[in-house]
A and B are shown apart, each in its own frame.
Chain A
Amino acid sequence: MSKKLENVNQTRLINDSGLLDKIIENATKWEFILVFLFVGVIIFFSNASPYFLDYFNMMNTTFNFMEKAIMALPMIFAIMCGDIDISIASTLALSSFAMGLASSMGAGTPEIVAIGLSVGVAAGVFNGLLVTGLKIPAIAVTLGSQSLFRGISQAFLEDQAFTDYPESFGYFGQGYAGDSLIPFELVLFLVLALIMGFILHKTSYGRKVYAIGNSSTAARFSGVPVNRIRFTNLVLNGLFAGIAAVLLTSRIGSTRPNIAVGWDMEAITLVVLGGVSISGGKGNIFGVIVAVFLLGYLKFGMGLLNFSAKSMIITTGFLLIGAVLIPELLNRLKAKQKLMKQQA
């Protein structure tokens, strides 16, 4: 009885809180800040440049960031479980190398794609086995495989490049969906994001990922197959790096050993900016999708206004820190206000 009364009182307390409190409470939600920033970016750049809010431009610039965005999707799962994969860009390079090799030996488009994807999966299995089988931290394993995978493609390619791909292979990275102006890469990203979002938020697999993120010991004791899920996450990272390899190789039509250098950090930046907590258990797919388009259009807009590449990098850095710092500061402000109210 008294418990019920307390509950009622609490709900009333929340309802009674002022408008300012409500705004602060919502504004401290990460996704809200991201959406707010995204709208701000769109408004600012469409005023600053007449070429920004052009349907054709807005569609075509997605070519520049869709591959990284696709690699960010499974990274959400890995980071949420407390793992990380810093070898995905090297996996992409290795997979691209395998596709180039297959193509130079006369393979057709379906075979090339199949080889690219399976090399990605194999790389993921390799990482996953070392991480879960031998219990080595993921960052240590993927630090080594980062050099190993890229090194293999470098050892075979030396300073050469594969540039000979069948014409139909170009569709994945350059084509549009049907007769529309929507790039195939964008459609594929949205479909994959939908699938991964469904898995994360609507299936038991996703619930288990959250459970591992909150406490892997508690998850194990409640019967979650922790190692199997962490293994699957790393394999997914490999598979998606393979998908990104197909798209990127098809888009630029060539394979060099230095393909996509540094993209692992960029994919991780997207995930972290999207609000996925590196200490595990927090985050959702929506935040990451907003972060993808926020960063993508920010870079596009800054490019239109002739900002240098370096100032874009600085902005990304500040965004990353600001996106965590602002909610934290707002929270402290809220706590202070609460304290003052209590004292009054």
Chain B
Amino acid sequence: MKNKLEKILQNRELNLVFLILILLVVVTMRAPDFLELKNVERIVNDTAILIMVASGQFLVILTGGIDLSVGAIIAFSGMAASMVNQYNPEMPVSLILLFGILVGTALGAFNGACVAYGKIPPVITTLGTMSIFRGLTFTMSNGQWVTAHEMTNAYMDIPKGRMLLIPNLTVWAILIFIIMFYFIRFTRHGREIYAIGGNKIAAHFVGVSEKKVSFMVFTILGALCGVAGVMWTARYAAAVNETAAGFELQTIAACVLGGVSMAGGSGALTGVVLGALFLGIINNALPVVNLSPFYQMAIQGFVVLAAIVANVLMEQRNEKKILSGRRQ
């Protein structure tokens, strides 16, 4: 019994679940209707895009890299898809969605090629492409926006429609989560990502190609950003040049909260999703508990820091326990 309890305490994801529960209790004490089904559905739907992109960012961080250009890829692919929709209103939205994904994949592949085959460190590559893609978005749209009345209803319904009573956007996030979960856990390429992040040299000697893996993770992240770009512009019914500015930091924060090591090689997808949900709950809770929006940023920063510190302290305590256990 005691062993079981300790095992639960050692589980990083469960720690995060506890933190989320504490957060929920605090919020519901001040706003009892926070946990109504409708509101929960809204929170999950609001977090869906973050979950998608963060799970891609997770792969990149697993290899020891980082992608700072996700916000720019989302903006570019979203703008590209919206403009196709604007000028070809008859085109089926499934094709447009596919087009958006392809654009995102291409941009992600460019990042991947620079990192894998050009040997440019990921931070430098994506710091550069962050500017390039954002600038190209502006050039492509000529600084114009695509607004709600220039989009077709079918396009705006991509995330808003419902499948089995669940909003499409949430369905997409769940689907992506399942696919990614399977990919990371049960396929060879998924395990190779962990191998590269854990020990590059060892991975090389067992025949894992670092180049192929890092190209792959950036391309997958690009594809997910492509989905996110279409969803984002359709959901908010506007494609602007500043779409998703600063979003890269949110995806990294979700990973860090979820216990993913920035050095690569360790972390779990469930942790990342919980981290994203944690951020989503904070974002949704602050207006509900009647806090001035001006406080939002400070509280978000404080809570993120507090959660990271709590997570690290729990982990260090567990490590000590494991060590003292061994000594006995």
Residue numbers of A with Cβ under 8 A of B are: 86, 130, 134-137, 139-141, 143-152, 154-155, 157-159, 265, 268-269, 272, 277-279, 308, 310-311, 313-314, 316-321, 324-325, 328
Q: Are B297 and A136 in contact (CB under 8 A)?
A: no
Q: Are B121 and A143 in contact (CB under 8 A)?
A: no
Q: How far is the CA of A136 from the CA of B311 in the complex (A)?
A: 10
Q: Are B296 and A151 in contact (CB under 8 A)?
A: yes
Cβ-closest 5 pairs across A and B: A151-B298, A147-B301, A148-B301, A151-B297, A317-B131
Q: Are A318 and B132 in contact (CB under 8 A)?
A: yes
**Main secondary structure on chain A at its contact with chain B?**
helix
Q: Are B124 and A147 in contact (CB under 8 A)?
A: no
Q: Are A278 and B121 in contact (CB under 8 A)?
A: yes
Given A135-B312, A325-B114, A279 and B121 touching (CB < 8 A)?
yes
Residue numbers of B with Cβ under 8 A of A are: 66, 68, 114, 118-121, 123-125, 127-132, 134-136, 138-139, 143, 249, 252-253, 256, 261-263, 292, 294-302, 304-305, 308-309, 312-313, 316
Q: From residue B313, how far is it (CB to closest CB) to chain A in Å?
A: 7
- Chain B residue numbers with a CB within 8 Å of A157 are 294
Given A143-B256, A310-B139, A151 and B120 touching (CB < 8 A)?
no
Q: Are B294 and A155 in contact (CB under 8 A)?
A: yes
Q: Are B135 and A313 in contact (CB under 8 A)?
A: yes
Q: How far is the CA of A145 from the CA of B114 in the complex (A)?
A: 31
Q: Are A321 and B124 in contact (CB under 8 A)?
A: yes
Q: Are B294 and A143 in contact (CB under 8 A)?
A: no
Q: From residue A115, how far is it (CB to closest CB) to chain B in Å?
A: 20
Given A143-B256, A321-B114, A151 and B131 touching (CB < 8 A)?
no
Q: How far is the CA of A265 from the CA of B66 in the complex (A)?
A: 14
Q: From residue B296, how far is it (CB to closest CB) to chain A in Å?
A: 7
Q: Are B129 and A148 in contact (CB under 8 A)?
A: no
Closest residue on chain B to residue A311 by CB atoms? B135
Q: Are A317 and B128 in contact (CB under 8 A)?
A: yes
Contact of B300 among A86, A147, A269, A311 (CB under 8 A): A147
Residue of A86, A130, A321 ringed by the most chain B CB atoms within 10 A: A321
Q: Are A313 and B134 in contact (CB under 8 A)?
A: yes
Q: Are A134 and B312 in contact (CB under 8 A)?
A: yes
Q: From residue A66, how far is it (CB to closest CB) to chain B in Å?
A: 21
- 20 A-B pairs, CB-CB below 8 angstroms? A139-B262, A141-B308, A144-B301, A144-B305, A145-B301, A146-B301, A147-B297, A148-B302, A151-B296, A278-B121, A278-B123, A310-B135, A310-B143, A318-B132, A321-B114, A321-B120, A321-B124, A321-B128, A324-B119, A325-B120
